[in-house]
Structure 1
Amino acid sequence: MTELKELQSKEELKQAWERSMEKPVLFFKHSTTCPISAGAFKEYQAFFESAGDNVGIYVIKVLESRSISNQITEETGVKHESPQIFLIRNKEVLWHTSHSHITKDTINEALQQRV
């Protein structure tokens, strides 16, 4: 089973981008003070619990690691939202969504349709 890794440094983010060359990765931007983000994080965790080793799973706490969150915004060109999720493969954003659109089912669909 894969592990849920919190990205806290630019080096860890760089490694996650590199990992996307081997297999798809998910970046979840999470606000630890927002109830909507808490609900989306529960969905992300539900996905994580059923995911195999075929996807890398990461979380970025946007308040605690703002520079990492900002770097993702810069590197993807996608306007920051929180909560927000990205599906990355070969260093490219294949899919992203935010808020109540983040569910276990939408994540599974994105992986099935785009990877």
Structure 2
Amino acid sequence: MGFFNKIFSGSTEDKDRKTLPWIQLTALEQLQEIEIKSNTKTQVIFKHSTRCGISRMVLKQFEADFYLTEDHLDLYFLDLLNYRDISNEIATKFKVLHESPQLLVIKDGEAVAYESHGGINSLELSNLI
């Protein structure tokens, strides 16, 4: 019966995923806030392409492995297809070449680490807090 439930009721994979404390990055003004807040708390930006299978796979793995809390860092999510202007400004402001998917760690107003594709899940965030 479980097999048929999976086929007809949709994937249980999405239902079983844990929800992270994502802050949606939808306005250029938020980049100024991220820069300021990074002086007292680590800020992380995840740039995701909603049409890319690799990006979706990396995001799912990131969410599955994530173990930190809001006490450790703020976690921003950027849908770069809908907010490409913000993605471009991130590249300029934090001096990081645009890639997708991409994760940036911001401290003291600067990108102290960044990775793309499979490297995202190799990045040990706990060492960067």
Same fold (TM over 0.5): yes
Post-superposition shift, 1:4?
0.7
What residue ranges of structure 2 are gaps of 5+ in the alignment?
1-19
CA distance in 1, matches of 2:68, 2:76: 13
* Residue number in structure 2 paired with 1:18: 36
Q: Where in structure 1 do 4 or more consecutive aligned residues deviate above 4 Å?
A: none
Q: What's the TM-score once normalised by structure 1's chain length? A: 0.85
Q: Matches of residues 1-115 of structure 1 in structure 2 within 5 Å?
A: 3-48=21-66, 50-52=67-69, 53-103=71-121, 106-107=122-123, 109-112=124-127, 114-115=128-129
Give the TM-score taking structure 2 as reference length: 0.77
Cα offset, 1:21, TM superposition: 1.0
Q: Distance in 2 between matches of 1:91 and 1:51?
A: 21
Residue-by-residue CA offset, 1:73-111 (whole Å, 9 max, x unaligned): 0112211100011111111111111011111xx33x243
The 1-side partners of 2:38 and 2:64 are apart by: 22
CA distance in 2, matches of 1:70, 1:43: 25
CA RMSD of aligned residues (A): 1.6
Percent identity over paired residues: 33
Aligned residues: 109
SS of 1:102 mapped into structure 2: helix
CA distance in 1, matches of 2:25, 2:56: 18
Say which SS state the counterpart of residue 86 (structure 2) adopts. helix
Using the TM superposition, give the Cα deviation of residue 23 of structure 1 relative to its aligned residue in structure 2, in angstroms. 0.8
What residue ranges of structure 1 are gaps of 5+ in the alignment? Answer: none
Structure 1 residue 47 displacement after superposition: 4.4
